[in-house]
Amino acid sequence: MNRLETLQSQLDEPLLVTAPVNVNYLTGFESTNPALFVEPDRARLFSDFRYAAAGKRVEDVEFTVTKRNLFASLADELSGRIGFEADAVTYAAFQTLEAGGLELVPRRGVVEALRAVKDEGELALIRRAGEITSEAFARLAQEQFSGRTEKEVAWRLDSLYHELGADGPAFPTIVAAGENGATPHAHAGDCEIPAGTTVVVDSACALGGYVSDCTRTFATGPLPDRLAEAYEVCLAAQQAGLDAVRPGVTGREADAAARDVIEAAGFGEEFGHGLGHGLGLLVHEAPRLSQESEDTLDVGNVVTVEPGIYLSGLGGIRIEDLVIVGDAGPEILTTFTKELVTVA
């Protein structure tokens, strides 16, 4: 059974899929303005003239050229009771469909649940992306950081991805030194990286539509005692999180395994985000590993395990691996060392 057939077998009513990443996942069709209407025995693909040639080549669907205002066309083409992706349809688009007389039923996470369990083709691409990322980090670690700007180091890592055969970075590379590293989603800046601090490097590459994710924290010389202690605590917490990533474990349980280590060491207030997230076509997708997660891990999930400790005014620590959930335990795809590397 292919992806589209699997979805059809699970539907209670026809489903209108409008998130571009979900349309791509189900059909291979890439468009900034797509819709896929899935019924038990029929699938109709919609997009405007710019994508007509590509749409007509998609197998197992009927393609219809629409106006640029996709939802106005859908309101004319569709009828009756239909499910729609509540997280992908704007209120304006909802009003357009409703004005066409449709009975709209909000649905959440239907296609995302399928995407969360990767097939062998997807896993092969993610594994290779992980290999490239690991090698890029290894090459970067041979270079000096001090005296270079955060942006220069980020650009160097991005260029390594291209040199190693990736399509490019999956998201803007984070290089955050010293105080900047105490912000989890910092931006690489123009300041020079000083000696005697930590540098958080969070980066990923894209390959064949799929992505990796990895974070390592480097040192630019001897660290203040509190930062050095935080590194060891974060490393222990990350290992506890990895050990917990198994089928049947909930996202909350995995998060707690790492969080308990950090809290016991007195750094609980400095770990404010979740332990990790799913990954595939997007950098952030299901399942989530966090205190709020309602997900349960399954074989074939791909997740990150990335606890962090952020010391305001001093520096940050984050250690992240990319992991496939397997029957025999986690398969760790990012293999660059997690021992503290000095790049003075």
pLDDT tens-digit series, residues 96-148: 999 999 999 999 999 999 999 999 999 999 999 999 999 999 999 999 999 99
pLDDT > 80? residue 177: yes
Token pair recorded at residue 36: 């896929």
Other C-beta atoms lying within 10 Å of the C-beta of residue 270: 18
* Cβ–Cβ under 8 Å, residues 28 and 281: no
pTM: 0.94
Question: What is the mean pLDDT of the segment spanning 176-202?
Answer: 95
Question: What is the mean pLDDT of the segment spanning 174-196?
Answer: 95
Q: What is the CATH number of domain 3-115?
A: 3.40.350.10
Gyration radius of the chain over CA positions = 22
Residue with tokens 């300041």: 191
pLDDT > 80? residue 35: yes
* Cβ–Cβ under 8 Å, residues 214 and 334: yes
pLDDT at 207: 98
Query: Residue 311's closest CA among 256, 259, 262, 269?
Result: 269
* Cβ–Cβ under 8 Å, residues 275 and 288: no
Please list the residue range(s) of the chain that carry CATH number 3.40.350.10.
Answer: 3-115
Q: Please give the Cα distance from 144 to 128 (Å, whole number).
A: 27
pLDDT > 80? residue 1: no
Bridge-based pairing of strands 174-177 and 198-203 is antiparallel
**Which amino acid type is present at position 47?**
S
pLDDT at 324: 98
Query: Residue 321's closest CA among 276, 271, 260?
Result: 276
Q: When comparing pLDDT for 1 and 11, which is higher?
A: 11
pLDDT at 344: 81
* Cβ–Cβ under 8 Å, residues 208 and 167: yes
* Cβ–Cβ under 8 Å, residues 255 and 291: yes
Number of residues that this document lists for the chain = 344
* Cβ–Cβ under 8 Å, residues 24 and 30: yes
Please list the residue range(s) of the chain that carry CATH number 3.90.230.10.
Answer: 117-332
Q: What is the 3-state secondary structure (H, E, C) of 155-173?
A: HHHHHHHHHCCCCEECCCC
pLDDT at 260: 98
Looking at every residue in the chain, the average pLDDT score rounds to 97
pLDDT at 12: 87
- 117-332 placed in CATH 3.90.230.10: yes
Query: Residue 205's closest CA among 257, 163, 148?
Result: 163
Other C-beta atoms lying within 10 Å of the C-beta of residue 186: 19
Q: Please give the Cα distance from 227 to 224 (Å, whole number).
A: 5
* Cα 113–chain centre separation: 14
Torsion, Cα 256 259 260 262, to 10 degrees, reads: 170
Residue 284 DSSP symbol: S
Other C-beta atoms lying within 10 Å of the C-beta of residue 84: 22
Residue with tokens 């760790």: 332
3-state SS assignment for residue 240: helix
